[in-house]
């Protein structure tokens, strides 16, 4: 008998944690891109918006709900990811942009508890906190994180907050790697097209290899926003298009 995979989005949602005006604006841009493919999805924002001139209390679009962060810091996402209002959550960094259909991600949580892609700079940032781990188990990028609200997953996220504060690294991925290594959760590895960290891939991939899904670049930089993003969207829309003969 063939097993049916659920297609509904009940209990599913996307969250952003953004601090600072620039990153809130980036989160809004990212949320709008997700709505192109998931118009009915619930999207929640954790941000320090009240002190920055945003008026989400009267109109929170493109989000469906918002929460004000009183004491923001550069890694506030670690504080608020455990507080997701959804049973199945896709956390996205503010500097992401949806390029394709992503609803199938939530179906992964029928079988797994969490899913992440490998870190983009995993070779240069491979550090040890408390546990020596084989290099073949690299860091995961924490900018695109799919997770189910289970007791064990929420515990890992809460432990991550404590570990990050204790370890003193400038990146949060060192401690996350070790916590995931020591856990017994069912962890899936997302393919790179769900967390595209470099423009170079659009010059090497073709339609037989991948269908681009989520871009993860620093779109607060004017050059990327005004030049590269329109070009990338053109390439994805015309995925048969070839730059070279």
Contact (CB, 8 A) for 12 and 88 = yes
Between 46 and 230, the higher pLDDT residue: 46
- 145 band by pLDDT with thresholds 50, 70 and 90: very high
Residue 21 has pLDDT above 80, yes or no: yes
Residue 128 has pLDDT above 50, yes or no: yes
Compute how many other C-beta atoms are within 10 angstroms of the C-beta atom of residue 14.
Answer: 27
Question: What is the arithmetic mean of pLDDT over 64-86?
Answer: 94
Residue 73 has a pLDDT of 87
Cβ-based neighbours of 171, under 8 Å, separated by 6 or more: 125
| Element housing 16 (H / E) | strand 12-18
- 244 band by pLDDT with thresholds 50, 70 and 90: very low
Residue 55 has pLDDT above 60, yes or no: yes
- Give me the phi and psi of 65, to 5 degrees please: -155, 155
Beta bridge partners of 47: 18, 68
**H-type helices in 40-167, by residue range?**
76-80, 104-108, 151-167
Look up the pTM and report it: 0.90
Cβ-based neighbours of 195, under 8 Å, separated by 6 or more: 116, 117, 120, 141, 143, 144, 214, 216
Distance set, CA 26 to CA 2, 45, 56, 95, 216 (Å): 42, 12, 15, 6, 11
- E strands present in 59-189: 65-68, 88-92, 96-98, 114-118, 140-148, 187-189
Pick the CATH number of 13-237 from 1.10.3370.10, 3.40.50.720, 3.90.550.10, 3.40.640.10: 3.90.550.10
Between 126 and 173, the higher pLDDT residue: 173
Between 133 and 16, the higher pLDDT residue: 16
């Amino acid at each position: 008998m063939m097993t049916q995979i659920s297609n509904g989005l009940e209990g599913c949602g996307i969250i952003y944690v953004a601090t600072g005006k620039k990153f809130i604006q980036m989160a809004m841009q990212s949320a709008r891109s997700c709505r192109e493919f998931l118009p009915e999805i619930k999207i929640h924002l954790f941000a320090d918006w009240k002190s920055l001139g945003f008026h989400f209390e009267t109109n929170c679009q493109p989000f469906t709900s918002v929460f004000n962060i009183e004491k923001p810091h550069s890694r506030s996402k670690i504080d608020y990811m455990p507080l997701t209002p959804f049973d199945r959550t896709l956390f996205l960094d503010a500097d992401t942009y949806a390029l394709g259909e992503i609803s199938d991600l939530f179906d992964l949580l029928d079988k797994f508890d969490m899913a992440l892609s490998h870190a983009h700079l995993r070779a240069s940032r491979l550090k040890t906190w408390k546990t020596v781990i084989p290099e073949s188990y690299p860091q995961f990028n924490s900018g695109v994180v799919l997770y189910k609200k289970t007791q064990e997953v929420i515990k890992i996220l809460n432990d991550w907050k404590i570990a990050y504060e204790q370890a003193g690294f400038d990146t949060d991925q060192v401690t996350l790697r070790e916590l995931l290594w020591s856990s017994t959760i069912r962890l899936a590895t997302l393919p790179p097209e769900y967390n595209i960290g470099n423009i170079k891939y659009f010059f090497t991939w073709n339609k037989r290899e991948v269908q681009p899904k989520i871009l993860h670049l620093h779109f607060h930089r004017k050059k990327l926003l005004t030049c590269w993003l329109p070009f990338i969207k053109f390439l994805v829309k015309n995925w048969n298009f070839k730059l070279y003969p």
